[in-house]
Amino acid sequence: MAHFKTGKGQHILPLDVKVAADLTVGDLVKYTASTNTIAKVTVLDDATHIVALSDETVSGGYVRTDLIEYKASDEVKASTSTVKKVGLYPIFDKGDVIVD
């Protein structure tokens, strides 16, 4: 798990990606644009992003409304065949990241 000390200049990038391993919000990941995949990493030096939002893919025609209590899961399940929408924080300054 990782988070920012200050989060200065941070914003969420919603990306449609393939997920190489099961992830949770706060995991360090490496995004590879050429293959459009994210993979979990354990070392901050290898990380390019932090998972900000879990999988936002809505299937089966389900539409969220204010009348339904909905809590998104903090997990993103691995899928290299299905593209998933995941929110990522880019890491601009590795000195601003705290790894738990």
Per-residue pLDDT tens for 70-95? 566 778 888 878 888 888 999 999 99
Q: Residue 44: phi, psi to the nearest 5? A: -60, -35
| 92/21 Cα distance (integer angstroms) | 23
pLDDT value of residue 80: 77
Tell me which amino acid residue 63 is.
V
| 100/97 Cα distance (integer angstroms) | 10
Lookup result for tokens 């992003």: 49
pLDDT value of residue 52: 86
Q: Residue 46: phi, psi to the nearest 5? A: -90, -15
pLDDT value of residue 63: 53
Kindly give the parts of the chain with pLDDT less than 70: 55-72
